[in-house]
Structure 1
Amino acid sequence: MDNIAGTKSSLTWAVNIAVGLLVLLWVVPTFGLLISSFRDRDAITTSGWWTALSASEQNIVARASAPDTARQVDGVWVIEGNVFEDEGGAGTVSDFGISIREPAAFKAGEVAQDDGHTLSVAENGDYVFTYAEQPSGKRGERVFTTVKTPPSFTTANYTRVLFSEGIGRSFVNTFTVTIPATIIPILVAAFCAYALAWMDFPGRAILIALIVGLLVVPLQMSLIPLLRLHNSIGLGKGYLGIWLAHTGFGLPLAVYLLRNYIAGLPKEIIESAKVDGATDFEIFRRIVLPLSFPALASFAIFQFLWVWNDLLVATVFLGNTESQLVMTGRLRELLGSRGGDWDILAASAFVSIAVPLVVFFAMQKFLVRGLLAGSVKGG
């Protein structure tokens, strides 16, 4: 026998492995982004996040003090300094060199001989040039060093993001957009889903097919026509327009999800209520809505996450003025047009997902129940 009680089939193992790989593919980059959000810009650009807990190596080219700073000691001329003076950093020098062709020719503490002078660099970065004759020239010699920098973390990225000008206003704007844009589609879709599931009227099958077809309509193709419609009827760019836009974009999925759930409710409960004289509205309000809470919560999670993280729809239907910018728009302005500040980008990512994560984990138990409900019916 292929399947013996107490053993798992090969298909079950394959599903478990696939799910584990998907979770790993999501968790590893997210963990890397979290670590990067606490690193400074130089560390991010010179090494990967997986090296954050180990010392990193980088090459530093320092310019020694000018020859006119040389002082005579025991019959020789000496120029002293530290390779970290101009860099403003710290670390441990492991190797150094006097030529760009061999930047790591000598170990820290050794003495390098060159034409007319010697160079020694200590591990703490202190260097000593010695000359048999007084040096001349306007610029000091170059010192090539290989520096090991200990791991370091900072909260400056989050400080810059959280306390940048206008971030509080943008946070309030995002809530102003997200909460109504989540509630309105649920209210409209719940009524529509009940009608499509339990009320008989001409064209019901066509409406269901139309709703399923709307699920595959690209959002980008409807932005400009919808904006022109808003302008023609006087809505323009404002909160009402973006609420209606998100409602329209979210309704097909909401109706499809809720209709499948409501259609799977026990038929006997609905028929008993009708026998007792309950109207459709009373059945919907007292029976269907309480029993449909898992499906309502699952769609609320999807819609909340979509609206909170949205930038495209907010840019088109709300505008980019200082009083209208949402969180994603504000973070885009903070990053600039080139988006080269990877440290700010990483911190901004976690600031923007903080609220959606709270919502998701608070309602996750309803998500699976709402998605799977109606997929299996009892006999």
Structure 2
Amino acid sequence: MQRRSLQQIFSQSVISAIAICIGLFWSVPTFGLFVSSLRPPELISTTGWWTGLTLPWNFTLQNYQQVLQAQGFGQAFLNSLIIAIPGTIFPLLIGSWAAYAFAWMRFPGRDLLFFSIVALLVVPLQIALVPILSLFTAIGLTGQYTAIWLAHTAFGLPFSIFLLRNFFASLPSDLLESAHIDGASHLRIFWNIILPLALPALASLAIFQFMWVWNDLLVALIFLGGNPQHAPMTLTIANLVGSYGTDYQVLTAAAFISMALPLLIFFSLQRYFVRGILAGSLKG
């Protein structure tokens, strides 16, 4: 028995060590990008980023000052927030309502409708871009924030409903039956019981959705490409590549600024991440 315990501890230690090594190796490009964004232009063009870690250190914030003043990058950061926050909240809100209905409400065609929504996960969004763009152009939404909010909400709903429905279905049925016996309506059960319990799933879904919307280039290019005043950071950085292609230090600073907020959100919500992904995996 003791030998088996030692084997389990050893195997877990080996797996943990391998996972840590993979994580460190995966983080090297990000760390190198951060170091390069703090180095003077003359050093970036002549030496590798790893040489910046040796003494004497020669770091500067000039690259960040330059990129924030170049081509309205500060406004682009604000535009990305305006796009990403509603583009994350709407799929979570609408998806949670639909997921509750699929998990705990009985209505004709429920299972068929749910499987149809799940089937949309395998449909590439590129197929839908042309008809949606034609529709938005016809009603005058192209180039407006509303267009990209609707697009990200529609593209994010299938995964939101799938993940949240599995989580809601894994909750104890006795809990909801007791609430119904006490006279609680579906709306009251949803707001007062389901949502507080679904915090891990909502947090993990928020990470996925926010990162996808924040890092999106294609949807923003299609629906906002004609309005540079509403362009997010992804479009602005793509323009910087053409305008400052030889100024590598500007591109590194711009890229790290675009990565900073998603990283902050991920590390802030990571304790919910695995719990939310695994929730409902055994029952659905």
Code of the aligned partner of 1:49:
W
Q: Is residue 2:49 matched to residue 1:152? A: no
2:122 is aligned to 216
CA distance in 2, matches of 1:19, 1:219: 33
Q: Deviations 1:299-353 (Å, cap 9, x if unpaired)?
A: 1122112212222211111224342121222222233267343211211111112
Instruction: Flag the 1:40–1:221 CA change in 2: closer, same or farther, 3 A.
Output: farther
Q: Is the 8 A contact 2:143 2:226 kept in 1?
A: no
Letter in 1 for 2:134: R
Equivalent of 1:242 in 148, 151, 169: 148
Q: Which residue of structure 2 aligns with residue 252 of structure 1?
A: 158
Match of 2:81 in 1: 175
Match in the other structure for 2:49: 49
Q: Distance in 2 between matches of 1:50 and 1:272?
A: 61
CA distance in 2, matches of 1:215, 1:179: 22
Give, in whole Å, the separation in 2 of the partners of 1:187 and 1:43.
48
1:157-178 Cα distance to aligned partner (Å, 9 max, x none): 1110123342232222222111
- Is this contact kept in 2: 1:318–1:324, CA < 8 A? yes
TM-score, normalized by length of structure 1? 0.68
Match in the other structure for 1:97? none
Percent identity at matched positions? 50
Equivalent position of 2:273 in the other structure: 367
Greater than 6 Å deviation, 4+ residue runs = none
Kindly provide the amino acid, as one letter, of the partner of residue 374 in structure 1. G
| More divergent stretch after superposition (285-294 vs 352-361) | 352-361
Cα deviation, residue 268, structure 1: 0.5
Q: Which one has the largest radius of gyration?
A: 1
Contact 1:194/1:284 (<8 A) preserved: yes
The equivalent residue for 1:19 is 19
Could you report, residue by residue, the CA deviation over 1:90-128 in whole angstroms, capped at 9, with x for unpaired residues?
xxxxxxxxxxxxxxxxxxxxxxxxxxxxxxxxxxxxxxx
Q: 2: distance between equivalents of 1:200 and 1:327? A: 44
Unaligned runs of 5+ in 2: none
State the SS of the aligned residue for 1:215.
helix
Q: Contact 2:203–2:273 (CA<8 Å) still a contact in 1?
A: yes
1:59-78 aligned within 5 A: none
Alignment-mate amino acid for residue 227 of structure 1: L
- The runs of 5 or more residues in structure 1 that have no matched partner are 56-149
Q: Deviations over 1:69-107 (max 9, x none)?
A: xxxxxxxxxxxxxxxxxxxxxxxxxxxxxxxxxxxxxxx
CA distance in 2 between counterparts of 1:336 and 1:38 reads: 22
* Distance apart, 1:246 and its partner CA: 0.4
Query: Using the alignment, how far apart are the partners of 1:308 and 1:205 within structure 2?
Result: 33
Aligned residues: 283
Aligned residue number for residue 326 of structure 1: 232
Instruction: Check the 8 A contact 1:3/1:9 in 2, yes or no.
Output: no
Q: Distance in 2 between matches of 1:368 and 1:298?
A: 8
Query: CA–CA distance in 2 between the matches of 1:290 and 1:363?
Result: 15
**Aligned-partner SS, 1:236:** coil
Work out whether residues 166 and 322 of structure 1, in 8 Å CA contact, stay in contact via their aligned partners in 2.
no
Cα distance between partner residues in 2 of 1:315 and 1:187: 26
Q: How far, CA to CA, are the matches of 2:23 and 2:246 in structure 1? A: 29
Specify which structure has the higher proportion of helix: 2
C-alpha contact (below 8 Å) 1:320/1:329 kept by paired residues = no
Q: In angstroms, what is the RMSD of aligned CA positions?
A: 2.4
Q: Partner letter of residue 235 of structure 1? A: L
Task: Output aligned runs, 1:310-321, within 5 Å.
Answer: 310-321=216-227
Rate the CA distance shift 1:256–1:347 in 2: closer, same or farther, 3 A: same
- State the one-letter code of the partner of 2:156: G
How many angstroms does 1:205 deviate by?
A: 2.1
Between 313-322 and 248-257, the greater mean CA deviation after superposition: 313-322
2:132 to 226, 244, 259: 226
Structure 1 residues 53, 293: CA separation in 2 closer, same or farther (over 3 Å shift)? closer
Q: TM-score, normalised by structure 2?
A: 0.89
Q: 2 CA distance for matches of 1:365 and 1:272?
A: 30
How far residue 233 of structure 1 moved from its aligned partner, in angstroms, is: 3.5
Q: Would the aligned equivalents of 1:189 and 1:255 in 2 still touch at CA under 8 Å?
A: yes
Instruction: Tell me which amino acid in the other structure corresponds to 2:144.
Output: G
1:223-302, aligned counterparts within 5 Å?
223-302=129-208
* One-letter identity of the residue aligned with 1:286: N
Compared with structure 1, are the counterparts of its residues 214 and 11 closer, same or farther at alpha carbon in structure 2 (3 Å cutoff)?
farther
Change (3 A) 1:313 1:277: same
- Secondary structure of the 2:4 match is coil
Shift in Å at residue 250 of structure 1? 0.8
Which residue pairs with 1:352 in the alignment?
258
Partner of 1:200: 106
